[in-house]
Structure 1
Amino acid sequence: MTPEEIDQLVAENVRAARARRRLRQEDLADEMGWSRPTVSALEAGTRRVTVADAAALCVALGIDLRELLRGADEDVVRALGLES
């Protein structure tokens, strides 16, 4: 997967997890200490997530890293040590 494909995948998974928790973008932004436009950019796939961001997103959304990367190619999952 390209970095851009991973960005898009993370964006979709964040959006889905936020929706499941019935959070608005503003709610997630508050939880993260971000602005709403930052959350919007993340969910659009135009903001790259750092490892620190990924950890904070997982806490804020009540998910684990596997869920954040759901749908990633097996080589990506394996490279991160997340194989089942």
Structure 2
Amino acid sequence: MGGVDQEELDALVAGNVRAARARLKLRQEDLADELGWSRPVVGTLENGNRRVTLADAVALCRALQISLPDLLAGAPADVFESLGIDRHKA
């Protein structure tokens, strides 16, 4: 991805996960239970210190009741283009 640094994308996804979890009034423990993860794994992800795999992204979207474009909200346009997502229609 030419337009975005991987660490920046990790931090962006981390912030979007935190925000979505807060909107649902879930604790990290609640999200971890929903995902079958441990609470420290959720914490590491929310701190931007854990890479999100495609399988993780699907599980997070399902657990947080958000779309992939919502999970990637704030990312540069080339991220959406690389994934074939029209962020304006999603």
| TM-score range relative to shorter protein | over 0.9
Provide the C-alpha distance between the structure 1 equivalents of 2:19 and 2:85, rounded to a whole number of angstroms. Answer: 20
The 4+ residue runs of structure 1 with deviation greater than 4 A are none
Seq. identity, %: 64
Whether 2:67 is the aligned partner of 1:74: answer no
Instruction: Check if 1:14 corresponds to 2:17.
Output: yes
Distance in 2 separating the partners of 1:81 and 1:3: 19
Tell me, yes or no, if structure 1 residue 41 matches structure 2 residue 59: no
Q: Deviations over 1:27-78 (max 9, x none)?
A: 0000000000000000000000000000000000000000000000001111
Q: What's the Cα RMSD here? A: 0.5
Cα separation, 2, equivalents of 1:21 and 1:82: 25
Deviations 1:4-30, CA, capped at 9 Å, x for gaps: 110000000000000000000000000
Give the paired residue count. Answer: 84
Listed as ranges, the gaps of 5+ residues in structure 2 are none
Amino acid at match of 1:37: P
- Structure 1 position 82, deviation (Å): 1.2
What's the TM-score once normalised by structure 2's chain length?
0.92
In structure 2, how many angstroms separate the alpha carbons of the residues matched to 1:7 and 1:82?
19
Give the TM-score taking structure 1 as reference length.
Answer: 0.98
